[in-house]
């Protein structure tokens, strides 16, 4: 397990990595976060993750208290201090510490940055299996496009999936359209071999992996349609897969009681995963 974390200006041992009880992230989920993968000194889409971090911060009127250059130095230090070769970095920025009060008007707070690293086994990169998913009503707040730590509906959904032996919970909006997974973006392939994923209409997170996979598809002349799709289209699709920083491209071969592609990993999911990982090898 990684032992050293960065907590508000200090590199601390795991057991000392603590946050004040009045941190607004702890009180209200008044914080944003990012998860970035890295392998052998190469970050997967680092700049894009940092751009989204800054966008999320701006949406919540929080200012990153250090420069992006310093942030990268700290991230590299955390990786180095833990001697991790392959893993993920977690970055969280909360509004800061203040006596509990919903409004932050007139508060001059210093945002609190924490950075931790999780080591992953190389199998994680190579193991390529089809997973199952369940569908659930999307009961999240109206701004899922902001990457906040306020993730209660997501963690409840993921736990229900887990209890049912499924890898992911896929959210369905009130009109029966798919939004996204509890921690991933969802894609389908239709019988014309077109890729379909929900457009960025504010009801999903603009996934960094989603964008990278989109670029891979465009470069390889695979047709992409960015539009809403119904739960019915999902259940009868030729292929279904999810994307996220930590799951890359992961095929979904069963949803609720429906088999997708006869329970087998689809060809397009397979090639997109390869193309994505190849692109990430040089993505710094
Ligand atoms: N989650 N949608 C949601 C709700 C997510 O939480 C995530 C990522 C994604 C995919 O985004 P990206 O491709 O940028 O990772 C979509 C991260 C991995 C997490 O919460 O751990």
**Boundary of a domain, candidates 119, 143, 163:** 119
Q: Is 35 in the pocket of ligand 1 (CB under 6 A)?
A: yes
pLDDT classification of 223: cutoffs 50, 70, 90: very high
Residue 174: inside a domain: yes
For range 179-198, the mean pLDDT: 98
- Residue with token string 């976060």: 33
Residue 245 in this model has a pLDDT that exceeds 90 = yes
Residue nearest to atom 16 of ligand 1 (CA): 184
Which residues, 6 or more positions from 63, have their beta carbon under 8 angstroms from its beta carbon?
57, 111
Question: Do 182 and 271 share a domain, yes or no?
Answer: yes
Q: Is 180 in the pocket of ligand 1 (CB under 6 A)?
A: yes
Percent with pLDDT over 70 in the chain? 99
Residue 124: inside a domain: no
State in Å: Cα 73 to ligand 1 middle. 24
State in Å: Cα 206 to ligand 1 middle. 9
Residue 126: inside a domain: no
Question: Do 18 and 53 share a domain, yes or no?
Answer: yes
Residue nearest to atom 4 of ligand 1 (CA): 183
What residues act catalytically? 147
Cα 216–275–238 angle (5° rounding)? 80
Range of the domain at 230: 131-281
Query: Nearest CA to 136 among 165, 174, 102, 172?
Result: 172
Residue nearest to atom 19 of ligand 1 (CA): 183
DSSP for 168-221 reads EEEEE-TTSBEEEESSSEEEEE-TT--EEE---SSSS---HHHHHHHHHHHHTT
Question: Do 69 and 143 share a domain, yes or no?
Answer: no
Question: Do 19 and 93 share a domain, yes or no?
Answer: yes
Question: Do 155 and 219 share a domain, yes or no?
Answer: yes
pLDDT classification of 247: cutoffs 50, 70, 90: very high
State in Å: Cα 209 to ligand 1 middle. 8
Give CA–CA dist 31/39, Å, rounded: 27
**Boundary of a domain, candidates 71, 86, 119:** 119
pLDDT classification of 124: cutoffs 50, 70, 90: confident
Q: Is 207 in the pocket of ligand 1 (CB under 6 A)?
A: yes
Cβ 179 vs Cβ 171: under 8 Å:
yes
Q: Is 19 in the pocket of ligand 1 (CB under 6 A)?
A: no
Question: Do 277 and 152 share a domain, yes or no?
Answer: yes
**Boundary of a domain, candidates 96, 119, 142:** 119
Question: Do 44 and 136 share a domain, yes or no?
Answer: no
Question: Do 186 and 247 share a domain, yes or no?
Answer: yes
CATH code, domain carrying 17:
3.30.470.10
Residue 103: inside a domain: yes
CATH code, domain carrying 241:
3.20.10.10
State in Å: Cα 247 to ligand 1 middle. 9
Residue 138 in this model has a pLDDT that exceeds 90 = yes
Residue 113: inside a domain: yes
Q: For 86-100, what is each residue's pLDDT tens digit?
A: 999 999 999 999 999
CA end-to-end span of the chain = 25
pLDDT of amino acid 122: 83
Q: Is 197 in the pocket of ligand 1 (CB under 6 A)?
A: no
State in Å: Cα 99 to ligand 1 middle. 31
Residue 250: inside a domain: yes
The domain total for the chain is: 2
Residue 2 in this model has a pLDDT that exceeds 80 = no
Average pLDDT, the chain: 97
Express the helix, strand and coil content of the chain in percent, nearest 5 each. Answer: 30, 30, 40
Question: Do 145 and 112 share a domain, yes or no?
Answer: no
Give CA–CA dist 85/140, Å, rounded: 35
Question: Do 269 and 147 share a domain, yes or no?
Answer: yes
Residue 146 in this model has a pLDDT that exceeds 80 = yes
Residue 1 in this model has a pLDDT that exceeds 70 = no
Residue 125: inside a domain: no
Q: Is 208 in the pocket of ligand 1 (CB under 6 A)?
A: yes
Give CA–CA dist 196/185, Å, rounded: 11
Residue 190: inside a domain: yes
Question: Do 109 and 159 share a domain, yes or no?
Answer: no
Radius of gyration of the chain (CA): 19
- Max distance between CA atoms of the chain, in angstroms, equals 58
Question: Do 137 and 266 share a domain, yes or no?
Answer: yes
């Amino acid at each position: 397990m990684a032992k050293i974390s960065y907590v508000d200006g200090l590199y601390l041992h795991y057991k000392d990595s603590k946050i004040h009880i009045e941190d607004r992230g702890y009180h209200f989920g008044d914080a944003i976060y990012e998860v970035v993968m890295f392998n052998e000194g190469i970050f997967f889409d680092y700049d894009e993750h940092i751009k989204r971090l800054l966008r999320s911060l701006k949406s919540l009127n929080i200012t990153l208290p250090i420069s992006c250059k310093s942030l990268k130095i700290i991230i590299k230090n955390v990786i180095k201090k833990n001697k991790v070769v392959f893993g993920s970095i977690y970055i969280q920025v909360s509004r800061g510490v203040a006596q509990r009060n919903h409004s932050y008007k007139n508060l001059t707070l210093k945002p609190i940055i924490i950075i931790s690293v999780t080591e992953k086994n190389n199998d994680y990169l190579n193991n390529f299996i089809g997973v199952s998913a369940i569908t659930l009503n999307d009961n999240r707040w109206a701004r899922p496009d902001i990457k906040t730590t306020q993730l209660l509906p997501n963690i409840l959904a993921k736990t229900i999936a887990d209890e049912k032996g499924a890898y992911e919970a896929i959210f369905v909006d009130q009109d029966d359209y798919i939004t996204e997974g509890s921690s991933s973006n969802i894609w389908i392939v239709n019988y014309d071999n077109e890729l379909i994923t929900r457009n960025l209409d504010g009801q999903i997170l603009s996934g960094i992996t989603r964008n990278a996979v989109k670029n891979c598809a465009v470069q390889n002349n695979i047709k992409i349609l960015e539009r809403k799709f119904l739960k019915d289209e999902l259940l009868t699709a030729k292929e279904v897969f999810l994307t996220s920083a930590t799951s890359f491209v992961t095929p979904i071969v069963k949803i609720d009681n429906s088999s997708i592609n006869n329970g087998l990993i689809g060809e397009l999911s397979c090639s997109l995963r390869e193309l994505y990982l190849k692109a990430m090898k040089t993505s710094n």
